[in-house]
């Protein structure tokens, strides 16, 4: 496995990140303690050092298990966890992006993880109410205290992230080095604003749900009645899939082309879907999770997969989206002619 620098930092992270939302059975599904440890060890043996968790994953069991598994080699792990979310309760300050939520969450995570620092601390979800300067100043305090080394942001609007990093840079505070988003062959809307922003700001992008909640494994198909297994014997009742049900024609087309490319290359649809992410012009680190050892082993094989350019283009074409305004407007010939004084073809962009 190779390694990438995390944003504008010098921190080296593996080109695949291990997601550990499946570690623990507290939510009624997931991997047992022993199976979770095997998954962790397989990832480590493959050269992976980038581990992603969150304070709420399996009610905190994910962090607790990682605390056990890292014993004796904590220094070689790039450990990422998150704050913001809390289980439903009666405390209005238990969740959110604000300072109190952050300080309480980081202390609890440090205890569960059995460590005195977190390598990468993510703001998990934008709450849309906390002032941006409160978030960034609180993050900077944690970095100055040595409890956090780097910070990242997940599931937020591009304009808010841009404002956050600009304020941090102007005030000499710690700024975000990473962006975590949902991104896959079926979910390409981040290409409108989030990915261009990340490229402009030098943020490393990590992609969650790169297999679209399992739709891109090739085991399911879209029908009028919902998501069904290919053998017709099972269904997937996942509310997160409703966004893909709204455009059944596109979803079915993407899955069909994915299966064709996979069969041609003697690969699984999941391997092709993950490999497609690694063929983007902008580097993407997929977050892979698994409940079974064979699933993780298959996911790790993508580091050796090189898709032919023609097949990548087929996947691009099948899954493309409309970028909308202002992107499409700016590409119109008349607009380009006016914008560049008729010399667009002779002006070299950096």
Q: Closest by alpha carbon to 149, among 174, 171, 113, 173? A: 174
The backbone torsions φ and ψ at residue 136, rounded to the nearest 5 degrees and listed phi first, read -70, -35
Give whole-number Cα distances, 57 to 70, 142, 214, 216, 336, in Å: 17, 22, 19, 23, 48
In 3-state terms, what secondary structure has residue 89?
A: coil
Distance from chain centroid for Cα 243: 18
Angle at 190 between CA 189 and CA 193, to 5 degrees: 110
Contact 106, 142 (CB under 8 A): yes
Q: What's the full length of the chain, in residues?
A: 350
Q: Which of 3, 40, 57, 150 is catalytic?
A: 57
For residue 57, indicate whether it is catalytic: yes
Q: Which two tokens stand for residue 318?
A: 């099948």
Q: Closest by alpha carbon to 300, among 330, 326, 335, 274? A: 274
CA distance 62 to 66: 6
Catalytic site positions: 57
């Amino acid at each position: 496995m190779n390694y990438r620098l995390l944003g504008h930092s010098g921190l080296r992270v593996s080109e695949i990140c291990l997601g550990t939302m499946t570690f623990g059975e507290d939510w009624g599904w997931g991997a047992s303690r022993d199976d979770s440890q095997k998954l962790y060890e397989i990832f480590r043996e493959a050269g992976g050092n980038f581990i992603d968790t969150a304070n709420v994953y399996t009610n905190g069991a994910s962090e607790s298990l990682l605390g056990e598994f890292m014993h004796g080699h904590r220094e070689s792990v790039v450990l990422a966890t998150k704050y913001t979310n809390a289980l439903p309760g009666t405390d209005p300050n238990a969740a959110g992006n604000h300072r109190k939520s952050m300080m309480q969450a980081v202390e609890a995570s440090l205890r569960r993880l059995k460590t005195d620092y977190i390598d990468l601390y993510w703001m998990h979800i934008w709450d849309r109410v906390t002032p941006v300067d409160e978030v960034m100043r609180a993050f900077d305090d944690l970095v100055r205290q040595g409890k956090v080394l780097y910070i990242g942001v997940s599931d937020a609007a591009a304009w808010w992230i841009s404002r956050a990093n600009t304020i941090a840079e102007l005030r000499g505070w710690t700024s975000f080095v990473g962006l975590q988003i949902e991104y896959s062959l079926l979910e390409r809307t981040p290409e409108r604003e989030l990915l261009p922003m990340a490229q402009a700001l030098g943020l490393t992008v990590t992609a969650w749900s790169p297999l679209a909640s399992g739709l891109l494994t090739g085991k399911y198909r879209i029908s009028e009645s919902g998501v069904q297994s290919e053998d017709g014997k099972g269904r997937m009742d996942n509310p997160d899939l409703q966004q893909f049900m709204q455009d059944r024609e596109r979803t079915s087309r993407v899955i069909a082309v994915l299966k064709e490319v996979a069969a041609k290359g003697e690969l699984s649809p999941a391997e092709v879907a993950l490999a497609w992410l690694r063929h983007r012009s902008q580097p993407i680190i997929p977050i892979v999770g698994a409940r079974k050892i064979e699933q993780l082993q298959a996911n790790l094989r993508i580091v050796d997969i090189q898709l032919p350019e023609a097949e990548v283009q087929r996947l691009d074409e099948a899954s493309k989206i409309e970028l909308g305004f202002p992107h499409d407007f700016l590409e119109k010939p008349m607009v380009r002619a006016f914008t560049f004084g008729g010399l667009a073809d002779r002006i070299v962009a950096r």
